Amino acid sequence: MGYDIFMRKIKFGSVELLGFIGILVWVCVTYIRTNDSVFNPVFSFVIGILPNLGAAWTMTMFGKWTVLIAMNRRYSLKKHAAFCIGVLAVAVLSEYLYDVFLQNPFDIYDILLTVIAQLIMFILPVLTKDKYLESYDE
């Protein structure tokens, strides 16, 4: 089941599941941060790095949708791997730009969580043989 947009169907698979979990993580973290209710340093650390997980999963989901809708192409395992690597590259570039231009230190924990998030995003559809990755041999 999916809905038709420009002759392509977006079907709910593991990429979308993780993408929507990523959006939910972003919303929850934003709500917690605005309430200033974080007093525990460990909880504060976790709240500080969780948006990287949400952003990585959400960006990959939107990348898949871009391929399906805007480009009207099939979403293959190679494209999925390219998006996972591309999101990781954008995260590293973002940390580097923050370091150079805003004098914020390069945060290795942000990158580490992004790597873990993208490994989960890549491995889960492959392990579950997600039928929504249209071609495993392309």
Q: What is the predicted pLDDT for the residue at 15?
A: 84
Give the residues across from 24 on adjacent strands: none
Q: What is the predicted pLDDT for the residue at 132?
A: 60
Average pLDDT over every residue of 56-69: 85
Question: Mind listing the pLDDT tens digit for each residue in 73-115?
Answer: 777 788 888 889 999 999 999 888 888 888 888 788 889 999 9
The mean predicted confidence, pLDDT, of the chain is: 80
Question: Mind listing the pLDDT tens digit for each residue in 17-39?
Answer: 899 999 999 898 888 877 766 67
Q: Which residues contact 16 (CB under 8 A, 6 or more apart)?
A: 10, 61, 64
